[in-house]
Structure 1
């Protein structure tokens, strides 16, 4: 049984009617439904595994053949017992002409439906708990109508919910539309199957309903294409707490998939995939780095800025992860379980335990998105950096807060992120900010020595070099020291041979920097060790030139290691390449990852048949999970990305930064490849948006990743692709304003009018598509005089005419973060 970590009690009321005592009173008669008991048992069994307590009936853990009064009483009783409830009903439904929809029970009669059957709108009344005056006290209820014409009933429940009748916290899942008849037992089987292995990772606590519904409908289409399940939501926003993710592991977002599996096993989860473990080493310089960071964090100063920098691959992210993980007991325990007291994690634990640290991975974020995330961590609300700074100035932090922000150089706008958000935050009492970035971002400040860092940990500097740690790291990987289930020829090799290979790897992974220092690439050492240990034999270290046969760089080492996958290498590479093009913190699995991988493979002229969802994705996560980080993305959904940006660049085919300015042909070729790839991604993402009843895209059902990042992919694909997207008024009503506003330029000769109207409405835009559509329609009417008409999203109100003063302004100043003199 899966017990959700939210601690809420969950109750299931499963009911259904197989036998109708007054079937002959209906004009066309009613057939008995022999499959109802089996359907009830199927649903009860599936939800019991997720922690639901079934309400018992006379015939077992469900209510069979209830009269209407018995069903009403059971509904009311279920609403009193738990904060979360699911009501599943299966049987006949009836929608007479010019009459409401009815759920039929065992005592229903054709001549008196009003008294002997149940209207779905009455569900809201019976599911309302006693003595609750506000919606926050109402239980969250999912009603599943597995009946003929149940879609009509679902629509009526939604309408009444929006009119404040009964319990507003009701979701309705209907197993057939109002023009379809449900096939016995088909939905129940599809429902149970979809719960067993959803296409999400360990980080998401609950299965998103749009994903679950897609899986159910895919299963229904195999047996009866005309039967479809529909989800109709009430007043709840976000991911509903009805379907716990049985794979969920708390506090593992940001770890590689292999590390997550290891954490899961330490917490008693069943085995799946290969053995894994953490590899974190340090003996001299790395230990000093941790000590300096801990000393700065614990210093009596109530604010300040710290910086961790270094060449690519030198372990900045690993170092920054230590305070984030080790300051939290829940996240520290798995890391320390396999670490000795004198190891780097063991020594760091005592220095960092109990610190008020919060981590943020800034890859793909703009300053506004970073602001919202940091504000949420601080218990505040802010839409812009200026809003957050102003909030803290008016209400300063009363307890110490330490923000660790990694991958600044991989954010959308690194310098504005620093100048408008992170530097001002670091100057506010109660807030310390520790950032991780490559050195080039510091150069504008270094030129006049104005960079205001209180702590600078440069991993290329002599103080923080740790050649013993680099060699030990390579040796542990060669021996698979923390992976007892992984075969390696080095376990049986002479110790001196393993030591010599580890030293050669460390030497290959150490390079001289432009400033004359030494950069130790733990990334390259990792990939070299993984590639070498998968060779059938250890090298003859006495033979001349044996070390020359080591891979030369990150790409070569990765390619050699990936070759161990044999016939599945092509599919694995295609899936990993899709992740390399992800925006933000990663690409969702669900219905996104595989279509993008196939589109990119087709664009590059590679085979797409090698990618078979979902088996290839699960196989990849189990067999190459060390290359993949799982994190939380838009909508708190699981997303995946390559574990390092250098690997992502290799998979994208992106030239090294130091080559781009020097070779114009390389720049041109890369720009063309990037635009073609982004166009393929955009097309693939658009195809994931379901069609609504009118045949147009139903943007309200678009995945949160599309709402947040589709605009960036389309913009990178070229002006025509971007214009085709942003001239769709339904898309504008659901798009993330923070992302889209920065891409809509008022001076654009084609999209200037759209940009000005969108920016006019921008301060009002939120999470409600209907309200957004109304605000945008009004703004377009004011700017252009002809408001666009949405195809599927109904505006909260319509603007027929507006009169406003002409406004040719291009930008709005909303505030400042420094004094104006």
Structure 2
């Protein structure tokens, strides 16, 4: 085994994705799935750092980092109190005996890290502190480790066991161990992982692979099947052997607390912000926060929202006074429509607003401003949504029968509208005064937005007791990279241009808010200075925020400018390179920066752009296959190396 490169060492604990997910604590749920190790999870390192006849290895930082990666799963680390220079054969066997005979049933993650060797034939050994060099005898064999594995798994109620061998030639060791385990009836419910083939490995490779799996590939899952985890580790470790001897769906790695990514389809930087907020809440608040926030479509702007007081009050007034109809929120691309709607939604849900306000992430409403509480029956993000999916969601929210999927779309629409209209008549089942209020954002990003606007949303808003708040651009021809079109086909389809035919429809347009942009930029930069990311003094930060906020730009520009400053702190003192460009120039700057960080990032970002906001899965090698392999870069190594550089959240 070789030590990490200087670049790897410098990244330890700073830029690896594992740190972004190290906040959640303990109390793993069972989710109703029977698992053997109901008593919890132990992290059991067997690290051999000092040797008499082999080079020393820096194993300590790896143990710490892997423990951090497992912390969200409530892993309890089992320390090895024997001094590193005394970890000979007796000490190692005593350590493994301890592992093989747990005091209570629980799942276990055994991580062996040290030197290993194989003669290419039947002899393959792991070295302890006193092992000779060359390592042809006096080490730990696959048969030795199998004895401890079968002893542990034979205990009544034993949970699953992951055994990772992070050593040179570990592939041969793990293959032999697995072959012998298959013929032993007591060897059950385990996963074996090697980190190398027949050659050497580098300390840090496994830790990076585990980070990619837990933080990126499975970031949206609260429970991870060990068979799927083994597949991802195999891919990130260049195909080094991983053997899963478990039953699918029954050996699971549970997060102690629900991950924000499981509740929201958010970018990594937003998920990191949400995780930071959750860390400031107590357990009761956290338990109430996540279920309530699951439909809130929270985004980064909700933490630093500024301005729009008049527009927010207009929305609150409409919600407090209008019995049925439609309120369409429009504005140029990047003007902050989604941010405003998310801000309104959070303030109408006390369970969200109160803890966020206490955490300092949400500004309280001005004195005299009253938000209607729990007014929205559903909040629906329409990006990529089909008309059929919207009909089904509306029917579910209203408690109406789901449209028949095999019917033509026009018939499905007519059936739902007629059903809801009948329910709205006196004596037909709708309670007196009952209303159905829905928030629907990003209409322009749905599939068939014009059909949805004219044939679903417009008729719905005309029904008694139904209210819709809709966020949309004015035209399907409008975009952040396009000139403002004269066309307003979406507003026309909603009926908002002809009040006589749609008297209960109102349009609320958003214009540029220079003061709000300035305050937003200053708050973001000040927060980063508070966390130590920026060292620029407050006066300079205020001047930079005022300068950027004075430009004829929208909030999209402000967000991108802040990200560039956080990645190049000198810009906080002198933002000149940001002044003579727009959001397209800032985005190109970010793409260039990420591509310079790793050449694979450019093509990967191109693939993400073609996905049009739907993202690309990191699992199953899909992310890695978006760029053809070069002779020196395999798809698996590209996955392992490019994922951390492209997915590490930016500084706060």
Calculate the TM-score normalised by the size of structure 1. Answer: 0.45
The answer to whether structure 1 residue 556 and structure 2 residue 585 are counterparts is yes
The answer to whether structure 1 residue 392 and structure 2 residue 420 are counterparts is yes
- Compared CA separation, residues 210 and 428, structure 1 to 2 (3 A): farther
Aligned with 1:589 (options 598, 612, 618): 618
**Equivalent residue runs for 1:61-460 within 5 Å:** 61-62=104-105, 187-190=190-193, 197-198=213-214, 199-200=216-217, 203-207=220-224, 211-212=228-229, 214-215=231-232, 224=241, 242-246=252-256, 248-250=258-260, 253-268=264-279, 280-283=304-307, 286-299=308-321, 301=323, 303-333=324-354, 335-339=356-360, 343=363, 350-380=370-400, 381-382=402-403, 383=405, 384-393=412-421, 395=423, 398=431, 399-440=434-475, 441-443=490-492, 445=495, 450=501, 454-460=505-511
For 2:533, the equivalent position in structure 1 comes to 487
Contact 1:4 1:51 in 2 (8 A): no
List per-residue Cα deviations over 1:187-242 (Å, max 9, x = no partner): 434499999853446544333677446337659995658x5658667xxxxxx995
State the alpha-carbon separation in 2 of the partners of residues 625 and 385 from structure 1.
47
Q: Secondary structure at the match of 1:360?
A: strand
For 1:680, the equivalent position in structure 2 comes to none
Calculate the TM-score normalised by the size of structure 2. Answer: 0.56
**Equivalent residue runs for 1:341-740 within 5 Å:** 343=363, 350-380=370-400, 381-382=402-403, 383=405, 384-393=412-421, 395=423, 398=431, 399-440=434-475, 441-443=490-492, 445=495, 450=501, 454-460=505-511, 466-477=513-524, 479-481=525-527, 484-485=530-531, 487-488=533-534, 490-491=536-537, 493-494=539-540, 498-499=542-543, 501-510=544-553, 521-532=554-565, 534=568, 536=570, 550-561=579-590, 567-568=596-597, 570-582=599-611, 585-591=614-620, 593-598=622-627, 612-614=638-640, 616-624=642-650
List per-residue Cα deviations over 1:597-632 (Å, max 9, x = no partner): 425x98xx9998897324543443333499xxxxxx
Q: How far has the Cα of 1:432 moved from its partner?
A: 1.5
Contact 2:435 2:466 in 1 (8 A): yes
Contact 1:425 1:431 in 2 (8 A): yes
Q: How far has the Cα of 1:406 moved from its partner?
A: 0.9
State the alpha-carbon separation in 1 of the partners of residues 161 and 256 from structure 2.
24
Q: How far has the Cα of 1:492 moved from its partner?
A: 5.2
Q: Secondary structure at the match of 1:207?
A: strand
Q: Secondary structure at the match of 2:620?
A: coil
State the alpha-carbon separation in 2 of the partners of residues 328 and 547 from structure 1.
41
- Compared CA separation, residues 624 and 61, structure 1 to 2 (3 A): same
- Compared CA separation, residues 508 and 559, structure 1 to 2 (3 A): same
State the alpha-carbon separation in 2 of the partners of residues 207 and 527 from structure 1.
34
State the alpha-carbon separation in 2 of the partners of residues 215 and 208 from structure 1.
11
- Compared CA separation, residues 625 and 394, structure 1 to 2 (3 A): farther
For these two proteins, the number of residue pairs brought into alignment is 456
- Compared CA separation, residues 507 and 212, structure 1 to 2 (3 A): same
State the alpha-carbon separation in 1 of the partners of residues 453 and 632 from structure 2.
41
State the alpha-carbon separation in 2 of the partners of residues 351 and 9 from structure 1.
41
State the alpha-carbon separation in 2 of the partners of residues 525 and 281 from structure 1.
12
For 2:97, the equivalent position in structure 1 comes to none
State the alpha-carbon separation in 2 of the partners of residues 486 and 256 from structure 1.
23
List per-residue Cα deviations over 1:414-444 (Å, max 9, x = no partner): 0111123222222334431111111122145
Q: Secondary structure at the match of 1:588?
A: coil
State the alpha-carbon separation in 2 of the partners of residues 621 and 329 from structure 1.
32
Contact 1:509 1:522 in 2 (8 A): no
Contact 1:314 1:522 in 2 (8 A): yes
State the alpha-carbon separation in 1 of the partners of residues 590 and 635 from structure 2.
23
State the alpha-carbon separation in 1 of the partners of residues 38 and 468 from structure 2.
52
State the alpha-carbon separation in 2 of the partners of residues 48 and 248 from structure 1.
9
Q: How far has the Cα of 1:447 moved from its partner?
A: 6.0
Question: Which runs of 5 or more structure 2 residues have no equivalent in the other structure?
Answer: 1-24, 40-69, 77-99, 107-144, 148-152, 163-176, 195-205, 282-299, 406-411, 425-429, 476-489
State the alpha-carbon separation in 1 of the partners of residues 396 and 632 from structure 2.
43
For 2:408, the equivalent position in structure 1 comes to none
- Compared CA separation, residues 218 and 606, structure 1 to 2 (3 A): closer
CA RMSD of aligned residues (A): 5.4
Structure with the bigger RCO (C-alpha within 8 Å, sep 6+) is 2
Q: How far has the Cα of 1:264 moved from its partner?
A: 1.8
Q: Secondary structure at the match of 1:472?
A: helix
List per-residue Cα deviations over 1:565-584 (Å, max 9, x = no partner): 58415444444333322267
**Equivalent residue runs for 1:15-54 within 5 Å:** 49=73
Q: How far has the Cα of 1:550 moved from its partner?
A: 1.5
List per-residue Cα deviations over 1:666-718 (Å, max 9, x = no partner): xxxxxxxxxxxxxxxxxxxxxxxxxxxxxxxxxxxxxxxxxxxxxxxxxxxxx
For 1:735, the equivalent position in structure 2 comes to none
Q: Secondary structure at the match of 1:365?
A: coil
Q: How far has the Cα of 1:459 moved from its partner?
A: 0.4
State the alpha-carbon separation in 2 of the partners of residues 202 and 424 from structure 1.
39
Q: How far has the Cα of 1:186 moved from its partner?
A: 9.8
List per-residue Cα deviations over 1:377-430 (Å, max 9, x = no partner): 445534443454344345556543321111111111001111232222223344
State the alpha-carbon separation in 1 of the partners of residues 523 and 38 from structure 2.
54
For 1:661, the equivalent position in structure 2 comes to none
- Compared CA separation, residues 241 and 185, structure 1 to 2 (3 A): closer
Contact 2:460 2:466 in 1 (8 A): yes
State the alpha-carbon separation in 2 of the partners of residues 293 and 229 from structure 1.
57
State the alpha-carbon separation in 2 of the partners of residues 528 and 417 from structure 1.
35
Q: Secondary structure at the match of 2:191?
A: helix
State the alpha-carbon separation in 2 of the partners of residues 220 and 592 from structure 1.
12
Contact 1:402 1:431 in 2 (8 A): yes
State the alpha-carbon separation in 2 of the partners of residues 212 and 467 from structure 1.
48
Contact 2:600 2:627 in 1 (8 A): no
List per-residue Cα deviations over 1:245-281 (Å, max 9, x = no partner): 45733585155433332332332389xxxxx996534
State the alpha-carbon separation in 2 of the partners of residues 201 and 269 from structure 1.
24
Q: How far has the Cα of 1:47 moved from its partner?
A: 12
Contact 1:296 1:455 in 2 (8 A): no
